[in-house]
Amino acid sequence: MGIATINPATGETLKTFEPLSTELIEAKLALSQQTFEQYRKTPMSQRAAWLYKAAEILERDQVHFGEIMTTEMGKTIKSAIAEVQKCALVCRYYAEHAAEFLADVSVGTDASQSFVRYQPLGAVLAVMPWNFPFWQVFRFAAPALMAGNVGLLKHSSNVPQCALAIEDVITEAGFPEGAFQTLLIGASQVEAIINDERVKAATLTGSELAGASLAAAAGKQIKKTVLELGGSDPFIVLESADIEAAVATAVTARLLNNGQSCIGAKRFILEESIADEFERRFLEKFQTLKVGDPMDENTDVGPLATPDILEDLDKQVQECIEKGSKVLIGGQRLSDRPGNFYPPTILADFPPGTPADQEEFFGPVALLFRVKDIDAAIELANSTLFGLGASAWTTDEQQAHRLIDELEAGAVFINGLVKSDPRLPFGGTKRSGYGRELGIQGIHEFVNIKTVWVK
């Protein structure tokens, strides 16, 4: 796939970009290294001032940036603007807290003085996805820049204008030239950059396949990686749950970002005694959703980002139906309009051997499962290869403790929507990846944790 802006609501190609030549990549890597040598010495207070400025720019131009996102990958304009606001939030969070997170930590030993010091690594390559094209980048960039690293962004090929706009924000905020650079390159050009000795580490958010490829390349060079990959997140509703609150959150959890979220709830695991009521209320809410132009503020569900994503999702749905799964709503692609639209869909009653067993459904498709009790719910929730986020609904304290302890996930949310928060570490386990972004743990991923002993 070329590097291009293709409006997913219309299929129209709006702008194309040439991938960087080998010579231009070399120039950017050289600038990155040169900038790092000076930037690492910049006082923390100066970095914070620049990051506060970036937050101001994001808020000032939030509608403009939101429109770029909606045009390139189809999220609704209201969710795009909210994403820009969240980017400003993470900038302010690290501007305020990085000095505390990176301060020397004294440790009592037999030395006169011993402590831990956190120091930057250098250039970090970020390979980022299209689904949250601003947020995914800023949640990497804010802590990395505050730690004294410099960033290189290889963004998804369908959001090039988002990638360039992010570099512009960071440059306008006052960061030195070369502190954060966008590389408009194809996937085939990534390994050579990983192999370059000036690049010290890499982070990737995306598919299992992309994560495995990046980690293998980095492993050969003995370079640190952080991976945030796919998820088939469970949304467990037990008999003791507040059903009304669970249903209202379930709709948002499944359809956020037109259903294209790694931490979106995908498998709804319902205790038998409340399953009929949940299903009825859930279906009623799906029936009221408006699918259409993502630039319209009244639209609930916009198009999927690319024709390939639409094709893959429809194949999964059709295979489930052919093998005997029940369709409560949706289940057929929308052919009455251009663009990559798929209707909000609910599937239930899965026989063994359907894609619902293990695969991630990346789009507005909810999978409903019934179980007899909490034991069966936990077993089913843990039965996939993924372990990103889990949402569970109960008012029973003992059940809540069991769910927290026994669910295999990087995050467990009791009676709430799984979401990322700058104050909390974010990441997965099993095939959902490793390492953490956000919180104090996120800023510590790309630093040299140096032990100092003095006598």
SS3 417: coil
Burial class (CB in 10 A: 0-12, 13-18, 19+), 290: exposed
- Cβ atoms of 126 and 97 closer than 8 Å: no
**349 CB contacts (<8 Å, ≥6 apart)?**
324, 325, 326
Query: Which pairs count as long-range contacts for 317-321, CB under 8 Å and 24+ apart, including other chains?
Result: 317/345, 317/347, 317/361, 317/365, 319/354, 319/355, 320/347, 320/350, 320/354, 320/355, 320/356, 321/347
CA distances from 444 to 103, 111, 120, 194, 325 (A): 11, 25, 10, 21, 45
Separation of CA 210 from chain center: 14
Contact of 51 with 143, CB cutoff 8 Å = no
3 state DSSP class of 370: strand
Residues 6+ apart with CB under 8 A from 425: 436, 437, 438, 439, 440, 441, 442
Annotated catalytic residue within 228, 279, 359, 445: 228
DSSP 3-state assignment of 408?
coil
Cβ neighbours of residue 263 under 8 Å, at least 6 residues apart? 231, 233, 388, 389, 411, 418, 419, 420
- Determine the Cα angle at 162 with ends 161 and 164, to 5°: 65
Q: Is 275 in contact with 264 (CB distance < 8 Å)? A: no
Q: Which of the following is catalytic: 87, 91, 162, 262?
A: 262
**Angstrom distances, CA of residue 378 to CA of 78, 358, 390, 392:** 35, 15, 10, 10
Query: Please, which residues bridge with residue 3 across strands?
Result: 17
Token pair recorded at residue 143: 């802590």
Active site residue 262: yes
Residue type, 185: I
- Which helix (H) or strand (E) covers residue 95, if one does? helix 77-101
Q: Residue 100 catalytic?
A: no
Task: State the Cα–Cα distance between residues 153 and 202, nearest whole angstrom.
Answer: 10
Q: Which residues sit opposite 292 in a β-bridge? A: none
CA distances from 172 to 64, 91, 163, 388 (A): 16, 14, 14, 35
For residue 108, the SS3 value is coil
Active site residues: 228, 262
